[in-house]
Amino acid sequence: MTIVLTPYWSNGVQKLKMAPQPPPKPAHGLTPPMLDDEIHAQRCMAQLRSKDKDIEKYIYLSGLKEHDPHMFYRLCLAHMPEFTPIIYTPTVGQACQEYSKNYRRPEGLFVSIKDKGKIRSVLRAWPKLDDARISVVTDGSRILGLGDLGINGMPISIGKLSLYIAGAGIRPHSTIPICLDLGTNTQKYLDDPLYLGLRKKRVPTAEMTEFMDEFMYEMSQAFPKLLIQFEDFSTDHAFLYLERYRNQYPLFNDDIQGTGAVVLSGFINAARLSSAASGRPLSSHRILFFGAGSAGVGVAMQLMSFFTLNGMSEQEARERIWLVDSQGLVYAGRGELAEHKESNVSLVRRVVFVFPIYPLLARFFLSLTLAPHRLCPPGLRRPSDPGSARRARVRQTHRADGPVDVFRRVLARCNRGAQWPPSIPLPIIFPLSNPVKLSECTFEEAVKYTDGKVLFASGSPFHEMEWKGKMLYPGQGNNMYIFPGLGLGAILARCSSVTDSMVEASSLGLANSLTPQEEAMGLLYPAIDRIREISAGIAMQVIRSAQDAGVDRHPELRAMSDSELLAFVNSKMWNP
């Protein structure tokens, strides 16, 4: 089916093709006589691999997905490690940045601030109203770590949904990529004649909230069975709209909750290995978050919840967790804190009482000195390090222009060329920022500075490497391991909302999905080729958790045994 769905900014009439229907058998004579499926799969891979640049590969695969979706998803499933860096991070970041330049055809739904008051009619233009089950919605304001890309954020919604289809077997025509156009504060795009979005600065939060209220209500009316994933909203709005709507509609925020879940899962597996090697209990870990945005605070909240559910007091759990932002250590009394840091005050250190008389000195000291010093694992501290020299060093690190440089320097200084201390046999380093160029450190750096001992997981993929005759494998701590299974479970259980317990269930499901072979290799996350199996297991845990929380609306699933439920989940997966 094709319908005319012209983006409001487009002059011409363009057709939005609803993909993918099973390909109709072409009449004899309309295809080459020897067009064999198997050979054609090889041909497509050869065409893909012949492209020099990743962005060209991305464009090629977008075209393949449009005109032959079955082949696209078949190849995607067969070559996950090769495909994900192209259709997802890191290349999707470039695809977003160049979206207006490379734009070829409409894909997804654009809802503009100008549609306020008539969002209903925009949504109802979507051709597959009854089929819709999952939508990834972004406003383009914080795409990966690349900042405010405005309407150029659309490929992130498309990319995430491709992973839903490939990774969890969501039916392609049940997905709706959405980009909200609320303006952009990035001058480069406002000045770009090719920019496809509104040429105005972002609207104030109050106006955005009115828009969001209407948008969410109309979404629930137009698509009654829809689960919504909020993606890459700037941190203030990410927390605001998650809290505002989470009890009203089935939705979750991928950057806060999906990231929290994936990192908790990796942490559980890493801490197991680390604690086994050091003989120290899980409670001995000290966790530094370098960045206190939606991802950092989301993960910190997830870890807090895990620690307290597993026997630690809130105080003990809090003492494990340290947040650092662009101003240094986040602590109560530092001054006005952003809402998402303030409202998660249980994470904020309450250390200022040590300096009742000299609050300014305290702020300076805590921000520049104590935080990185204390956070540096104990075995790495140099007891003889004079305070002034340390302060100077730390100040120097804070002079850097971005978190990447700061982190690299801290890491390098932690090592100081000395032997990695035996008190921390297996340090855990998760440089989670995306895409690759924003990763806080590379796998190679982490391996080098820890003499090959690091337990490592990054947001974007790195290659394995050899170190002193041994092959070392980096993990990919990316929410792509979580959202397909979490979404599938929430859809199949017909949830009225997504609870914290469902998110935690997805995390534990992932942590427990390692095979004995993967465990023996010291992996923190399972091989991505097994994503379907992993997603099915996660979906099953999520459904059970939804039932426990009483938010499921599919009572027949309650009567099923676990094996029946798993078979049911698998039977619902779409296959190319």
Q: Does 269 bind ligand NDP (CB under 6 A)?
A: no
- Which of residues 153 and 172 has its CB atom nearest to Mg ion in the complex? 153
Closest to ligand NDP by CB, 227 vs 295, is: 295
Residue nearest to ligand CC(=O)C(=O)O (CB): 434
Q: How far apart are the first and last CA of the chain?
A: 19
Task: Compute φ and ψ for 228, nearest 5 degrees.
Answer: -115, 135
Instruction: Using the minimum distance from each CB to ligand NDP, give the nearer residue, 144 or 540.
Output: 144
Q: Is the peptide bond before 20 cis (omega within 30 degrees of 0)?
A: yes
> In the set 64, 262, 268, 511, which binds ligand NDP (CB under 6 A)?
262
* Pairing between β-strand 227-231 and β-strand 134-138 as defined by DSSP bridges: parallel
Q: Which does 186 bind (CB under 5 to 8 A by kind): Mg ion, ligand NDP, ligand CC(=O)C(=O)O, none?
A: none
Residues near ligand CC(=O)C(=O)O (CB under 6 A) are 89, 144, 232, 254-255, 434, 459, 478-479
Binder among 16, 96, 113, 144 for ligand NDP (CB under 6 A): 144
Residue 18 or 528: the one with the smaller Cβ distance to ligand NDP is 528
Nearer to ligand NDP, 68 or 325 (CB): 325
Of 119 and 149, which has the nearer Cβ to Mg ion?
149
**With contacts defined by CB under 5 A, how many residues of the chain interact with Mg ion?**
2
Q: How far is CA 372 from CA 261, 333, 352, 561, in A?
A: 26, 18, 16, 50
Q: Which secondary structure element, helix H or strand E, spans residue 287, and what is its range?
A: strand 287-290
Least distance in angstroms from the C-beta of 37 to ligand NDP: 35
CB of 130 vs ligand NDP, minimal distance in Å: 32
Residue stretches of the annotated binding site for a divalent metal cation: 231-232, 255
* Cβ-based burial of 52 (10 A; exposed 0-12, middle 13-18, buried ≥19): exposed
- Two structure tokens written together for 61: 């695969």
Show the 3-state SS of 518-557. Answer: HHHCCCCCCCHHHHHHHHHHHHHHHHHHHHHHCCCCCHHH
| Euclidean distance between CA atoms 292 and 326, whole angstroms | 9
Pick from 113, 158, 226, 292 the residue near ligand NDP by CB under 6 A: 292
CA 18 to chain centroid: 26
Q: Which residues are annotated as a binding site for (S)-malate?
A: 142, 434, 478
State the burial class of residue 36 (Cβ atoms within 10 Å of its Cβ: 0-12, 13-18, 19+). Answer: exposed
- Asked if 20 interacts with ligand NDP (CB under 6 A), we say no
| Range 429-468, binding ligand NDP (CB under 6 A) | 432-434, 438, 459
Report DSSP letters for 4-66, one per residue. E---TT-SS--EEE---PPPPPPPTTSS-TT--HHHHHHHHHHHHHT-SSHHHHHHHHHHHHH
Strand partners, 230: 137, 253
Q: Supply the minimum distance, in Å, between the C-beta of residue 209 and ligand CC(=O)C(=O)O.
A: 22
Output 181 or 255, the one with its CB closest to ligand CC(=O)C(=O)O: 255
Q: With beta carbons less than 8 A apart as the criterion, state whether 225 and 133 touch.
A: yes
Which residue(s) pair with 323 in the sheet?
289
Do 64 and 72 form a contact (C-beta atoms < 8 A)? yes
CA–CA gap between residue 74 and residue 166 (Å, rounded): 8
262 binds, among ligand NDP, Mg ion, ligand CC(=O)C(=O)O, none (CB under 5 to 8 A by kind): ligand NDP
Question: Phi/psi at 443 (nearest 5 deg)?
Answer: -60, -40
How far apart are alpha carbons 457 and 271 in whole angstroms? 13
Task: Select 218 or 255, whichever has its Cβ closest to Mg ion.
Answer: 255
Q: Which of residues 229-268 bind Mg ion (CB under 5 A)?
A: 232, 255
Distance of closest approach, residue 231 Cβ to Mg ion, in angstroms: 5
Q: Give backbone dihedrals phi and psi of 456, rounded to 5 degrees, phi first.
A: -125, 135
- Shortest Å, Cβ 292 to ligand NDP: 4
Active site residues: 88, 160
Binding residues: 142, 231-232, 255, 434, 478
The listed partner (ligand NDP, Mg ion, ligand CC(=O)C(=O)O, none) that binds 497, CB under 5 to 8 Å by sort, is none
| Residue 325 in contact with Mg ion, rule: CB under 5 A | no
Alpha carbon 24 to its chain's center: 36
Residue pair 303/268 in contact by the 8 Å Cβ criterion: no
Each residue 313-352 as x (binds ligand NDP by CB under 6 A) or -, in order, gives -----------xxxx-------------------------
Binding mask 502-541 for ligand NDP (x = CB under 6 A): ----------------------------------------
Strands 321-325 and 2-4, by their bridges, are unpaired
Sequence-separated (6 or more) residues with CB below 8 Å from residue 275: 281, 282, 284, 285
Q: Min. distance of Cβ 201 from ligand CC(=O)C(=O)O in angstroms?
A: 23
Residue nearest to ligand NDP (CB): 293
| Interacting residue ranges for Mg ion, rule: CB under 5 A | 232, 255
Q: List residues binding ligand NDP (CB under 6 A).
A: 142, 144-145, 235, 255, 259, 262, 290-296, 324-327, 400, 402-403, 406, 432-434, 438, 459, 477-479
